[in-house]
Structure 1
């Protein structure tokens, strides 16, 4: 146990040295590559305007997403009506999708409880 702690400590120290040595260069490179997204001058008013634009753009996209969802739902309804003709591949895909939804639900529950598996705080 103590040796693994020393190894972990050593790796954390190496990572810290690497970041302190190369972090500034990476930061500058990242800003240079994405300078077209930087708003000058960065004022509070401009930030408020951008946040409102994002909000209302997202709100405007709701009907398009709703239409895509209803098309998917209609497809599932058609598959359910023809469930006698359902292939094994389609059933497998549906099962995997259901499993993925359940996994996301469980993950959300765990995160919501503060990353505890029992629901009790220790």
Structure 2
């Protein structure tokens, strides 16, 4: 166990040295590549204005999202009505989607309990 800890400390030290040598160059390159997204002047007031713009833009997009949601619901209703015409591929995709939703639910439950597995006897 002590050897593992020493190895982990060594790896962490190497990673820290790499970041300290190359981190600032990477930061400068990243800022330079994305300078069209940087607002000038970079003030608190500008940040507040941008956050309000984002909030109200998202708020304004709700009716479009609402309409898209009901279109999807209508599509599912139509597919359910005509389920005798359903292809195996469509049924497989629906099953995989359901399985993925269940897996995300289970993962969320595990994370919510603090990564503990309860109710299982090993």
TM-score bin (small chain): 0.7 to 0.9
100-109 or 24-33: bigger deviation: 100-109
59-68 or 98-107: bigger deviation: 98-107
Q: Could you say what secondary structure the match of 1:71 adopts?
A: helix
- In the TM superposition, structure 1's runs of 4+ consecutive aligned residues that sit over 6 Å from their partners are none
Q: Could you say what secondary structure the match of 1:28 adopts?
A: helix
Structure 1 segment 68-107 matched on structure 2, within 5 A: 68-107=68-107
How far apart are residue 93 of structure 1 and its match?
0.5
With normalisation by structure 1, the TM-score equals: 0.83
Q: Which runs of 5+ in 1 are unaligned?
A: none
Q: For residue 61 of structure 2, what is the aligned residue in structure 1?
A: 61
With normalisation by structure 2, the TM-score equals: 0.83
How far apart are residue 7 of structure 1 and its match?
2.9
How many residue pairs align between the two structures?
119
How far apart are residue 90 of structure 1 and its match?
1.0
Deviations 1:18-38, CA, capped at 9 Å, x for gaps: 001000111111111111111
